[in-house]
């Protein structure tokens, strides 16, 4: 079967990696109780880091990247799953230290799988993908800290990207007033189409800011980190909440404690990889019910498997709009 393979020569484990589309067999797949035929997978920011080698995402070589997939169970030694079950996988180190979704089959632990929710096709589930599921985890984090549509305006950074675009669509459908931050003025109409009430130029947030700024937002979802996150926190209103999930601008956080101790702002970290199964099930079940599927269609593009490697660098340049779905065996599910 075909697979994307990230490799390093045995005699130069510290040397540069190579990436190619190659052939593997079922026997090559790692251990796991459940063998899944992959119907759709996707390209996420983290897959782009893995494929380009821009960041040490891959922990062992050779590696099949792909941090998520939707497919159909072919064989299962886990009584929770049987052949024919439609499943989704996100995270758990898949595509980083365990072979992932950019292949025709994957073998994984039964505990890692979530059933494909009623009302979603495999294609729609992957249009959501890890980015969209993370967007829902961010919305849940805001809600758990008391944020409701009545709280006021919510800012979303990296709004034209994968996490951001799904977050905008979800929040707008739920009745929130969404301010979408983008570095691409050309995406303003796209973002308004997803339901953003206003567009904020990313340049307003990228420079080092004051410890406390003018109070602008009741809450925020940030995919950028660095000065962008620091400025969002500094401009969050009294007792507001910021969900932080990404590092598109950088891993650092050049902030101060002022917003936390003077305004009672909460910084809520969001991780999708090791997220407990109960939250995953809740997130996927809510995505199936609460996301406007017409909007989902508008924010996804399909990418042929043989264009995955050449497309990955676009993520690191911030050139990708919405979600990138890769059909592997679309007739399966």
In the region spanning residues 84 to 143, those forming contacts with ligand NDP, defined by CB under 6 A, are: 130-131, 134
Minimum Å gap between C-beta 249 and ligand NDP is: 3
Q: Please, which residue, 104 or 129, has the CB nearer to ligand NDP?
A: 129
Which pair of tokens denotes residue 137? 């985890």
Q: Which of 41, 42, 44, 151 binds ligand NDP (CB under 6 A)?
A: 44
**Closest to 198 measured CA to CA, from 146, 159, 243:** 159
Q: Please, which residue, 122 or 200, has the CB nearer to ligand NDP?
A: 200
Q: Please, which residue, 73 or 241, has the CB nearer to ligand NDP?
A: 241
Minimum Å gap between C-beta 193 and ligand NDP is: 14
CA distance 287 to 196: 18
Q: Which of 223, 299, 300, 325 binds ligand NDP (CB under 6 A)?
A: 223
Residues 6 or more apart whose Cβ sits within 8 Å of residue 190: 160, 165, 298, 299, 321, 322
**Closest to 245 measured CA to CA, from 272, 263, 264, 226:** 272
Residues 6 or more apart whose Cβ sits within 8 Å of residue 100: 41, 63, 64, 65, 66, 67, 68, 69, 94, 106
Check binding of 76 to ligand NDP (CB under 6 A): no
Check binding of 259 to ligand NDP (CB under 6 A): no
Largest CA distance in the chain: 60
Whole-Å CA distances, 147 to 40, 48, 106, 230: 34, 33, 39, 20
In the bound state, the residue with its beta carbon closest to ligand NDP is: 161
Check binding of 311 to ligand NDP (CB under 6 A): no
Q: Please, which residue, 151 or 182, has the CB nearer to ligand NDP?
A: 182
| Region of 108-116, 142-150, 243-251, 259-267 interacting with ligand NDP (CB under 6 A) | 243-251
Minimum Å gap between C-beta 11 and ligand NDP is: 32
Reply yes or no: is the peptide bond before residue 302 cis, omega within 30 of 0.
no
Contact string (CB under 6 A) for ligand NDP, positions 262-291, x = contact: --------xxxx------------------
Q: Which of 184, 239, 263, 286 binds ligand NDP (CB under 6 A)?
A: 184
> Which long-range contacts link 11-16 to residues 24+ away (Cβ below 8 Å)?
13/61, 16/53
Which pair of tokens denotes residue 277? 């199964």
Positions that interact with ligand NDP (CB under 6 A) = 44-46, 130-131, 134, 157-164, 182-184, 187, 202, 206, 223-224, 228, 245-249, 270-273, 315, 318, 320
């Amino acid at each position: 079967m075909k697979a994307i393979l990230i490799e390093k020569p045995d005699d130069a484990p510290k040397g540069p990696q190579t990436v190619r589309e190659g052939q593997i067999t079922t026997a090559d797949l790692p251990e796991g109780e459940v063998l899944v035929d992959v119907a759709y997978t996707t390209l996420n920011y983290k897959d782009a880091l893995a494929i380009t080698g821009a960041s040490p995402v891959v922990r062992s070589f050779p590696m099949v990247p792909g941090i998520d997939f939707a497919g159909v169970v072919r064989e299962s030694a886990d009584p929770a799953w049987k052949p024919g079950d439609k499943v989704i996988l996100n995270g758990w180190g898949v595509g980083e230290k365990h072979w992932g979704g950019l292949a025709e089959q994957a073998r994984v632990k039964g505990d890692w799988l979530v059933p494909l929710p009623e009302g979603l096709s495999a294609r729609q589930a992957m249009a959501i993908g890890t980015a969209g599921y993370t967007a829902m985890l961010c919305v849940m984090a805001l809600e758990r800290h008391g944020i409701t549509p009545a709280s006021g305006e919510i800012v979303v950074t990296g709004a034209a990207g994968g996490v951001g675009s799904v977050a905008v669509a979800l929040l707008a459908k739920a009745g929130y007033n969404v301010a979408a931050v983008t570095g691409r003025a050309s995406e303003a109409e796209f973002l308004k189409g997803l339901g953003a009430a206003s567009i904020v130029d990313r340049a307003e947030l990228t420079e080092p800011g004051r410890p406390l700024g003018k109070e602008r937002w009741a809450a925020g979802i940030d995919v950028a980190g660095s000065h962008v996150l620091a400025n969002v926190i500094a401009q969050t209103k009294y007792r507001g909440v910021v969900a932080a999930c990404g590092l598109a601008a950088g891993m650092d956080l050049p902030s101060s404690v002022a917003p936390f101790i003077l305004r009672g702002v909460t910084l809520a970290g969001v991780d999708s990889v090791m997220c407990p199964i109960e939250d995953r099930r809740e997130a996927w079940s809510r995505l199936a019910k609460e996301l406007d599927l017409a909007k989902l269609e508008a924010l996804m593009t399909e990418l042929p498997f043989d264009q995955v490697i050449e497309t990955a660098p676009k993520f690191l340049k911030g050139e990708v709009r919405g979600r990138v779905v890769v059909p592997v065996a679309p007739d399966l599910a």
